[in-house]
Amino acid sequence: MIDFYTWTTPNGRKVSIMLEETGLEYTTHPVDIRNDEQFAPDFLKISPNNRIPAIVDQKGDGGPVSVFESGAILIYLAEKTGQFLPASGAKRAKALEWLMWQMGGIGPMMGQASHFVNSAPEQIPYAIDRYLSESARLIGILDKQLADNEFVAGDYSIADMAIYPWVSVGFDVISKAKADIVGDGANCSRWLAANAARPAVEKGMNVPPAQS
């Protein structure tokens, strides 16, 4: 049994998709970040960076194992199950390469774009343009990679699970706002549809259900 601490964010959705794809048994523990539940002392013991998602694998090697940071969780679950991450060699390196690309690029840049467009106390044109433009540049890179690959690293992997929740939310807005950078985004559109058609992705994107 895996205890899964999460909320309705792209980073949380990455892990719920993986849990659904692998068929691992898990219990969801919503951490309402709107009410600062991520700062609760019990949660900080699991995730000292006070961020979701986090897991506790009650059947870990030698006893319960806690893991925080979405990328680390994806790797842990892939290695636990032997699924969605090659064991060695070039294919493993490629999947990890694109996972880290998401962790260092798509996630932070789209997150900042969303903040300055939707949440900042004042509209700052420079910040909005900077983060929308960088998000668009990254979508363009993804589109180019997908021109010759069905999925990001060739075969469906944890890299796709990491990237999809972010791009599925931001693609339409960013591609319209920065069409000169993104282009037609046809490869991304095809890839988004392929991910969305997977039953585990559909289920994982609703764990926990979106809040009003």
Instruction: Report, at the CATH architecture level, how domain 2-83 is classified.
Output: 3-Layer(aba) Sandwich (3.40)
Domain boundaries, the chain: 2-83, 89-199
The pLDDT value given to residue 96: 98
The pLDDT value given to residue 212: 55
Q: Is 177 helix (H, G, I), strand (E, B) or coil?
A: helix
Is residue 15 a contact partner of residue 29, using CB atoms and an 8 Å limit?
Answer: no
Chunked mean pLDDT (size 10), the chain, 212 residues: 97 98 97 95 95 95 94 98 97 98 94 90 93 94 97 98 96 87 92 98 95 64
Distance from chain centroid for Cα 173:
18
Is residue 55 a contact partner of residue 73, using CB atoms and an 8 Å limit?
Answer: yes
User: What are the φ and ψ backbone dihedral angles of 65, each rounded to 5 degrees?
Assistant: -125, 125
Count of beta carbons in the 10 Å neighbourhood of residue 56: 19
List the one residue out of 172, 166, 179, 89 whose CA is nearest residue 137: 179
The span from the CA of 4 to the CA of 207, in Å, is 10
The span from the CA of 188 to the CA of 193, in Å, is 9
Per CATH, domain 89-199 is 1.20.1050.10: yes
Lookup: tokens for 192: 């988004």
